[in-house]
Amino acid sequence: MGSKETLCRTRTILCFLLLFCVSCKCSASEFEITQVASLGVDASSHLARKIPDTLFGIFFEEINHAGAGGIWAELVSNRGFEAGGPHTPSNIEPWSIIGDDSSIFVGTDRTSCFRRNKVALRMEVLCDNCPAVGVGIYNPGFWGMNIEDGKTYNLVMHAKSPEMIEMTVSLTSSDGLRVLASAAIRVPGGSNWIKLDQKLVAQGTDRTSRLQITAKTKGVVWLDQVSLMPSDTYKGHGFRTELISMLLDLKPRFLRFPGGCFVEGSWLRNAFRWRDSIGPWEERPGHYGDVWNYWTDDGLGYYEFLQLSEDLGAAPVWVFNNGISHHDEVDTTAIAPFVKDILDSLEFARGSAESTWGSVRAAMGHPEPFPVKYVAIGNEDCGKENYRGNYLKFYNAIREAYPDIQMISNCDGSSGPLDHPADLYDFHVYTGSRALFSMKNTFDNTSRSGPKAFVSEYAVTGNDAGRGSLLASLAEAAFLTGLEKNSDVVHMASYAPLFINDNDRTLVINRGLLFLQHFACSC
């Protein structure tokens, strides 16, 4: 370890001591009255190990509404009316009705113009003398839409009506009484769907706003794929600028995505499917994430994660499903279609603009390949019956097609050799502060030959995590010093989860580490 790394470690230790001092509300005079502590730092060259450039990165999982209602800037929840399932009539939650059953009738049918998501909303205005505010529907977004004064919001919606109908689109307060932005739109009569674009400029701020679509005259209109996005997303790529700025400050060297258990699903039918998450957003069917129990429209999809990696200057780490979920799995004898699917995903990312799947990427606006050099074959599946057999099928096919790709096994190799080939192995730990403190020496006796460790998920959890505490942060930081000390065998590390929407704290972990981790990464 060079002088820069030594200085970094010294600064980190001093930072820990300073924070500990602050937490105890101690002063210099109190130190003099009580006792004098000595701290010894052995910076001998024979103990030095070069920290790899890849060590510190980030892991994003669609959990706790980290994406839908979080980093992804889409403000409409259930924008395609698909969350209630493919059968109609269906639940349109969180959409709600403005008016009563004497003035409006709202239901779903399967008349959409979009091939992969056929459900559309049918709205029939019944009143001759409608209220002055009109009748219709509204969407509160994800626990309210944060509308800010002076900002522009881009509304896109698809509609059709047998007769011309005029409607009003508005951004209002949560009770509909205060109007922040409003515009009149006209749907011409006919049998064809049309795409409507409207810019709304907010004349006020409200963190719990909603989008309203209303009409005042009798008529029938069908609506589908209603999207509202702020105009100032990061580089125009759909991500919330202020949250991306936080990630840029962390200087991540890699981005692991999109999960986690989100990749597996409780059942394979609800696992993340990369093919369904690419192409025009209106055509993406979305899916129900049955591990964390909420619907995602998959506007934040495989392509967007690759784009985010590029925007952050981070190496993409693609975690894919290997035919195994929490409750069902594909036998190795039938895994070939899943292997082909992943080879196609790699061609989408790395293939030339003339290749079958590379041309799809190019059509989405990125003719140059994405440099995917790391893939994780499954997530936390090592103990499953078909994991090793499935793993080898993926490993051999990817190695043949892309010899440079580094493959990550789900099996832990920290205390003994793996029984299958791998470039890296996953290591996950969620535990209490005391236990994580004691794990700082986990990799001291790990073999210095063989695959490297990827500590892709770690955090203090349980009763001592809460909303973040100094004790939990110090435990996580102490664990990190053990990773740095063993950085010849620990190649990569990332905290989990990255974001939590405070309205959905499904997984409660310590959030106090971010400052300390940023301090370590900035050295």
Q: Which of 82, 79, 127 is nearest to 100 (CA)?
A: 127
Our answer to whether residue 310 is catalytic in this structure is no
134 neighbors 216 (Cβ within 8 angstroms) = yes
77 neighbors 142 (Cβ within 8 angstroms) = yes
In angstroms, the Cα distances linking 316 to 60, 146, 346 are: 11, 30, 12
CA–CA gap between residue 514 and residue 14 (Å, rounded): 17
276 neighbors 337 (Cβ within 8 angstroms) = no
80 neighbors 117 (Cβ within 8 angstroms) = yes
Q: Which of 163, 132, 4, 147 is nearest to 76 (CA)?
A: 147
What the block records as the tokens of 475 is 């435990």
**With left for phi above 0 and alpha for psi between -120 and 50, is residue 398 left, alpha or beta?**
alpha
| DSSP secondary structure letters along 505-519 | -SS-B--THHHHHHH
CA–CA gap between residue 342 and residue 285 (Å, rounded): 19
Tell me, letter by letter, the H, E, C secondary structure of 69-96: CCCECCCCCCCCCCCCCCCCCCCCCCCE
Q: Are strands 152-160 and 145-147 parallel, antiparallel or unpaired?
A: unpaired
Beta bridge partners, 19, equal none
Q: Are strands 424-431 and 406-409 parallel, antiparallel or unpaired?
A: parallel
CA–CA gap between residue 34 and residue 28 (Å, rounded): 10
CA–CA gap between residue 310 and residue 30 (Å, rounded): 50
Catalytic-labelled residue, pool 264, 347, 380, 457: 380
Beta bridge partners, 195, equal 158
Give the active site residues. Answer: 380
